Homo-oligomer: A and B are copies of this chain.
Amino acid sequence: MSFAKLDAHGHSLSALEHALSILGVDEATAMASGGGEQRAETMASLSGMLHRQATDSKLAQWIADAKAEDLTTEQNIAVAEFERNYINMTCLPADFVERKMRTSMRSEQLWRTARPNGDWEAFRPALEGVVEMVREEAAMRAEVLGLAPYDALMEQFDPGNRTSDITPVFAALKAFLVDFLPKALALQQERHAKRPLKALSGEYPVERQKALGLEMMQAVGFDMNHGSLSVSDHPFCGGVPTDVRLTTRYRTDEFLPALMGILHETGHGLYEQNLPKAWAHWPSGKARGMSLHESQSLFVEKQIGRNPAFWQFALPHLARHLGEDWSIEDLLPHVHLIKRGKIRVDADEVTYPLHVILRYELEQALLSGELEVRDLPEAWDTKMRDYLGISTIDDPKNGPMQDVHWPSGAFGYFPSYTLGAMMAAQQWAAIVADHPGANADIAAGDLGALNTWRRERIWHRASMGSTPEILREATGESLNPAHFIAHLEARYGV
């Protein structure tokens, strides 16, 4: 029976994925510094095994045969996902894959040396090489998948996401934000004038921050029997669904960034922990994609964690762990602080989408050839001034050189962040429509009803549909910018 062969293949791939994931966590949290070179060789070798197994030509036959077998609905969906993965992984010739890996690695290395000095001219040739390569890659993927080139790139990160759906939504959001941002900033200034920002700085030992973080993780539903929290230079959510490894980093003079980081990663972790167990080794049993994943982290960070109701619940815990007796009026202005800035990763939820839309537009222009790399700094600057009122023309380090995505060859990934934020707001609106007591529940620290909704409609769906399908079935409508806009208006408006 061919499905049984696919099933065994799924176990084998999952074992290699499990190993790679835990080795990655170990590298960031436990590895001795001198162990890096050998670890990199090991991971390359295991990735090679994974790639060879995932692209083995026998799979095409097993998939074709399995389709003719008498299978359950779940098995049929699994076969379709095995096929989708197989096509996405075999649509590039092996020599191109190798060239891509070498090109991206060299370009990323060059970026790491050129970026600290903002040396655009040193970095530009490498980026030109990457863009040339990505154009080729997109054309090849587009041909095999029957999609437009940019859609074919997005398909790797979020099956079903299409520019024809996203562009009008981003256009509406951009129009709103360009108008909304100055008003929200003016309102914030007025509020700060009436009640000056009270500094939250102090001396917060790491152990206390960690205890607070662990308590908040569990309050929003994280299962400590299947996961843990540790420390790394860059916070992440790694590991496997049965053992989700969150990390954060602490500063002892402030607690809010570490705590919000923990909540964000906890959102990713809840999705992983609540995937359906029986199909964990089928592609249809894994988390869907980047934008849906980000909708889960941003749901916990923004919809729950920056919700005033959450702080009603959290304040006594904060006081107990940190010994600080803040009022909610002291805290919320920090939790909701907005600011224009050059750097995407430092942006708040009002300005972040503008950073993303800028990249979404520019990477499409680069891909189509409408824009060339040599003209990128000007194009970037023009959009930064238009959308955020900031110029980066004299500061390429904090302009087009700020992100690792392009130097490493990841085009089509950026929209995931803002799609995630919008989908989180849309899910929240759907929950509140079903369950008007959602805010009161959060204030009482009772996430039961919220998590039941999310478990049934998002987490348990795993990869049983495309990203837009899962969203539509969960919320009753396609991606709709109105919910995110209403969320921002309610939180940052009058």
Residues 235-246 of A, flagged 1 when their CB comes within 8 A of B and 0 if not, give: 000011111110
| A93 located at the interface, meaning its Cβ lies under 8 Å from any Cβ of chain B in the complex | no
Name A107-149 residues within 8 Å CB distance of B. Answer: none
Contacts of A239 in B (CB 8 A): 35
CB-based contact A240/B11 at 8 Å: no
| Closest-CB distance, A295 to chain B (whole angstroms) | 25
Listed stretches A218-226, A259-267, A358-366, A375-383; interface member: A218-226
Closest to A37 in B: B242
- Known contacts A46-B15, A225-B33; is A240 also within 8 Å of B22 by CB? no
User: Contacts of A29 on B, CB cut-off 8 Å?
Assistant: 30
Chain B residues near A37 (CB, 8 Å)? 242
Whether A18 pairs with B38 at a CB distance below 8 angstroms is yes
A191 within 8 A of B: no
Docked CA distance A240–B34 (Å): 11
Closest B residue to A43 using CB positions: B15
Question: How far apart are the CA atoms of A280 and B35 in the complex, in Å?
Answer: 13
CA distance A37 to B241 in the complex (A): 12
CB distance A34 to B228 under 8 Å?
Answer: no
Q: A11-B41, A23-B22 are in contact. Are A240 and B35 (CB under 8 A)?
A: yes
A201-233 interface mask toward B, CB cutoff 8 Å, 1 = contact, 0 = none?
000000000000000000000011111101000
| Nearest B residue to A224, CB-CB | B32
Are A23 and B19 in touch, CB under 8 angstroms? yes
Q: A31 interface residue, CB < 8 Å from B?
A: yes
Determine how close the nearest CB of chain B comes to the CB of A247; give it in whole angstroms: 11
Residues of B within 8 A of A243 (CB): 31-32, 34-35, 38-39
Contact status A15-B34, CB under 8 Å: no
The 3 closest A-B pairs by CB, nearest first: A35-B243, A15-B45, A34-B225
Please name 7 further chain A to chain B contacts, defined as beta carbons within 8 Å, in addition to the given A32-B227, A39-B243, sorted by A numbering: A14-B45, A22-B23, A23-B23, A31-B243, A32-B225, A32-B226, A32-B243
